[in-house]
Amino acid sequence: MKLDLGILDAGILIVDDQAANVQLLTRLLTDAGYTGVTATMNPTEVCALHRRNAYDLILLDLQMPGMDGFSVMEGLKTNDNESYLPVIVLTAQPGHKLRALAAGAKDFLSKPFDLVEVKTRIRNMLEVRLLYRKLERHHEELEQAVLERTAELRESEARYRGLTELAADWYWEQDDRGEFTKVSGPVMEMLGLHVPPLLGDASGTTLDGWIEAERHALWENIAARRPFLDFFVPPHPCRWL
């Protein structure tokens, strides 16, 4: 039922230089329940009208003075926003049918009109057209979802990098004697200390930069399970070589 409502609300443009044909098709479609039917007898207006209204279907006469239906279809192809040409051509010339399909038309109606055929072909065309538009919208939604997810992942990666860098500023390792075995990040530079070249060397060789009194104070805090987050060691000229 939803599809029926969508079809009946579709935008349809009738293009024919014969007033009798315009009146016949308009009356036929209106009586069938279509609510978005408009018409023009001037083929030069079609491209501008379609750019402005994005019709779901254009019923296009091929034989018109000044600008025939083939020229109109060529003009419609220049619309960058339209990748699908929603045209049913109206013709009394059987030889024009293949040429019209080759030019981009999706179907054709022969004159004089068979009213049952007209309604059937128009409905079939609109079903395809509305499904095509639904597919286009779904594709656009998928692209937008991918862009949003990509942006979220980049933001998450940036936060992770930031946290990693912050953590690296305060990362160090000590052995069981309290001697530094590894220092990572710019923390030593931030504290104004010089890192010995052998600190953290693969051979395990380290330089002892501790003053014994300070080392004992640290171990007393650890043994007593006292916090020492604010433990501060005054600069000493002999601490680091």
User: Within 10 Å of residue 83's Cβ, how many Cβ atoms?
Assistant: 9
User: Within 10 Å of residue 2's Cβ, how many Cβ atoms?
Assistant: 6
Fill in the DSSP letter of residue 186.
T
Residue 49 near residue 74 (C-beta atoms within 8 A): no
| The pLDDT value given to residue 166 | 58
Tens of pLDDT along the chain (241 residues) come to 334 557 899 999 999 999 999 999 999 999 999 999 999 999 999 999 999 998 999 999 999 988 999 999 999 988 766 667 889 999 888 888 888 888 889 998 988 899 999 999 999 999 888 887 788 777 778 888 888 888 888 887 777 666 556 554 555 666 777 666 666 555 555 555 555 544 444 433 334 455 667 667 777 877 887 766 555 555 444 444 3
Beta bridge partners of 171: 184
The domain covering 2-141 belongs, at the CATH homologous superfamily level, to Response regulator (3.40.50.2300)
| The pLDDT value given to residue 231 | 52
| The pLDDT value given to residue 202 | 42
Relative orientation angle of helices 46-53 and 69-76, to the nearest 10 degrees: 40
The SS3 call for residue 124 is helix
The maximal CA–CA distance of the chain, rounded, in angstroms, is 110
Residue 113 near residue 14 (C-beta atoms within 8 A): no
Residue type, 117: E
Residue listed under structure tokens 């992942």: 153
Please give the model's pTM, rounded to 2 decimal places: 0.57
How is the chain split into domains, by residue range? 2-141, 170-223
DSSP 130-156: HHHHHHHHHHHHHHHHHHHHHHHHHHH
CA distance 220 to 79: 81
